[in-house]
Structure 1
Amino acid sequence: MNLTGRLDSFSDAFAKNFITFALGLIINCINGFFVHIYFKSQVFQRDPRYVLYVHLVINDIIMLTACVMLHILTYSVPLGFGTCCVLLLIVIITNKNNPLNLAGMAIERYIAVCRPLHHTQICTVRRTYILIGLIWAISSINALTDVFFLLVKRPMLVFSKRVICHSTENFACPHVFQVVTLSFVFLTVIITYLKVFFAARAASTATKDSARKVHSTILLHGVQLLICMLSYVAPFFNLLAVRLPASRTKILFSSFLVTNVLPRLLSPLIYGVRDQRFSSHIKLYFSCKCCKAKKVKRVSPVHKRFK
């Protein structure tokens, strides 16, 4: 993911790798904690909404891990072309999964508010897993197309070479698929938001509050989508870096953090902190841990007397 691994001094390279590793570890620990909470309670596993949510979080964990590995490896050891392609494929596929998953979550919330009588029939856990499988299949199509064009254009001997591990250097396929996908997701989020917004205005007082929460959630999905689109703005930062050679490495590193690392923290903050059911389970989890710790402290002196 880094184009300038050999242009930095040892201290700069160490600082950048340390920051990347530390941020990646912290964000993955936070995301992993929310995944742990999800699997601790069967209530979440029976709700399609939370199934899609935890898939989004796991997808972010995979993507962030691959990004951090790429960033550190490009500084430390020269990468073979095959290893680089595998890591880039993981990053590209998981990056494309995000907007499609957000579209599925927006549609599920739309059905919950505008078609509440059909929600339990349409949005089942089994169909949610099928949707997740389709998301991975659709996202893989573009990545595998890149690999196909790569094998056609370049000889097999290229797999034995050491390369700069960056998608623009190794995959040169047009970004038509990305534009179509993001346009579809953007329209889906906008339409579902408007539908839920008007349903909230026409709803009774009893259901108006829940409808408002849902359309604000879909609005947050739109914000997440815009943040996902930051990865497609990264080439403009690269052009800016070329015109400012003195600050090139700093611009590229800042672009990497803003477009690939920091957005992975957004999903747990939106659902884990804002969602009442999830936040209540988090509080219950920590309260149970505190109670166990207090019991251990109370019991330990008693054991010491008998020794």
Structure 2
Amino acid sequence: MANNSSLGGGESLQRQINDQVIIVLILVIMFLCINMLLIVTLFRKECFRTTTRYILFAVTLLSDSLLLFMSAILLIMSYFRFIMQVWLCIIICIVVLVYLTVTPVTLTAMTLERYVAICMPLRHAELCSTRNTIHCILIIHGLSSVPCIVILSAFCASASLSVYKQFNVCSVEMFMLYRWHDHLRSAVSQFYFLIMCIIILFSYVKIMKVAKAASGENKKSTWKGLRTVILHGFQLLLCLIQLWCPFIEATVLQTDFLLFVQVRYFNYIMFGLVPRCLSPLIYGLRDEKFFLELKSNVFFVFYKKNIV
């Protein structure tokens, strides 16, 4: 009886995990298709390719798409217990760790762009030129690489050469060899969280002051920019909470494995997928110019299919 009950529970857990994996893969494929449509729309129009906020929007879409694709691959490998050498896993995790940070840093840059556009309109064209935007993207990737460099440096300083030839299931958690590695990762994440929150709050307060002083058409435009900053702040908050998820999951794992599975699934959906679907909402639907272009592209695709 006990064995049958245990076996039934194992099959139930296996079926539940299998359903969860399928749901995640469907959501990832759906978001990737939406992102690809938005990216094609951005690159079709020259005004989108030369405007700072749309260029940064494209960076978030590309970053989110790559991260969703890589996380789906890691999920499948983890589910089927696919093992690989540690050195190969390091290469994969470098991409994941860097682009896990690229999106929140880019969102912070987009908030600063809105601050310049509303609070410093006369200098917006100068500060947000295409050349400066390219430099900004390089800075974003440089800043996003710092947590990855810190984590991998700590791992490389602690691991022996034989570790790199071992075979294991690939995950970022495998680089946390000691407790102080977790503390170091937590410190870097909290530092980034603090800096980004300060920038968001600073931009919000400044734009709020301009919104109260503005009148007529300027007031409408300013309040729209303020709502965009609020949405960026909410999206950024979800992205930054994702940086804390590993520490929450590690604590839960020590008490209950089944609860750990549920918590990890919830964290991935809530703080991994949801922030990535907010970008299309903020600029894909709320931005009138981009929405009209997107609608014409979708109409063109359906029209072409009907002709064929």
Q: TM-score, normalised by structure 1?
A: 0.88
Distance in 2 (CA, whole Å) between partners of 1:244 and 1:142 is: 29
2:59 matches 1:55: yes
Structure 1 residue runs without a partner (length 5+): 1-6, 298-307
How far apart are residue 178 of structure 1 and its match?
Answer: 2.0
Partner of 1:301: none
Amino acid at match of 1:142: P
Partner of 1:259: 271
After TM superposition, the structure 1 stretch with the greater mean CA deviation from structure 2, 132-141 or 168-177, is: 168-177
2:83 matches 1:72: no
Contact 2:249 2:260 in 1 (8 A): no
**1:138-287 counterparts in 2 under 5 A?**
138-171=143-176, 172=181, 174-175=184-185, 176-234=187-245, 235-287=247-299
- Taking a change above 3 Å as real, the CA distance of residues 211 and 13 of structure 1, as seen in their structure-2 partners, is same
Partner of 1:288: 300
C-alpha offsets along residues 178-234 of structure 1, whole Å, 9 cap, x if unaligned? 222221111111111111111011012121000000011011111011111221331
Distance in 1 (CA, whole Å) between partners of 2:148 and 2:302 is: 47
Distance in 1 (CA, whole Å) between partners of 2:269 and 2:250 is: 13
How far apart are residue 262 of structure 1 and its match?
Answer: 3.0
Contact 1:74 1:165 in 2 (8 A): yes
How far apart are residue 291 of structure 1 and its match?
Answer: 4.3
> What is the number of residues matched between the two proteins?
290
Contact 2:204 2:226 in 1 (8 A): yes
Name the structure, 1 or 2, with higher relative contact order (CA <8 Å, separation 6+).
Answer: 1
Distance in 1 (CA, whole Å) between partners of 2:174 and 2:270 is: 21
Contact 1:99 1:182 in 2 (8 A): no
Distance in 1 (CA, whole Å) between partners of 2:257 and 2:304 is: 57
- Taking a change above 3 Å as real, the CA distance of residues 237 and 164 of structure 1, as seen in their structure-2 partners, is same
Amino acid at match of 1:21: L
Amino acid at match of 2:264: L
C-alpha offsets along residues 113-160 of structure 1, whole Å, 9 cap, x if unaligned? 111111111110111111111111121122123222222211121111
C-alpha offsets along residues 255-284 of structure 1, whole Å, 9 cap, x if unaligned? 222222332111112210111111111112
Contact 1:241 1:252 in 2 (8 A): no
Contact 2:252 2:259 in 1 (8 A): no
Distance in 2 (CA, whole Å) between partners of 1:293 and 1:27 is: 22
Distance in 2 (CA, whole Å) between partners of 1:263 and 1:167 is: 20
What is the percentage of aligned positions where both structures have the same residue? 23
Amino acid at match of 1:113: I
Partner of 1:300: none
Contact 1:73 1:79 in 2 (8 A): no
Partner of 1:29: 33
Distance in 2 (CA, whole Å) between partners of 1:15 and 1:204 is: 53
Partner of 1:84: 89
- RMSD value, Cα: 2.0
Distance in 1 (CA, whole Å) between partners of 2:173 and 2:214 is: 49
Partner of 1:131: 136
Partner of 1:304: none
Contact 2:83 2:170 in 1 (8 A): no
Partner of 1:302: none
Amino acid at match of 2:132: R
- Taking a change above 3 Å as real, the CA distance of residues 244 and 223 of structure 1, as seen in their structure-2 partners, is same
Contact 1:67 1:260 in 2 (8 A): no
SS of alignment partner, residue 229 of structure 1: helix
Distance in 2 (CA, whole Å) between partners of 1:181 and 1:89 is: 18
C-alpha offsets along residues 30-49 of structure 1, whole Å, 9 cap, x if unaligned? 11111011011111011101
Partner of 2:6: none
Partner of 2:104: 99
Structure 2 residue runs without a partner (length 5+): 1-9
SS of alignment partner, residue 243 of structure 1: coil
Distance in 2 (CA, whole Å) between partners of 1:216 and 1:238 is: 36
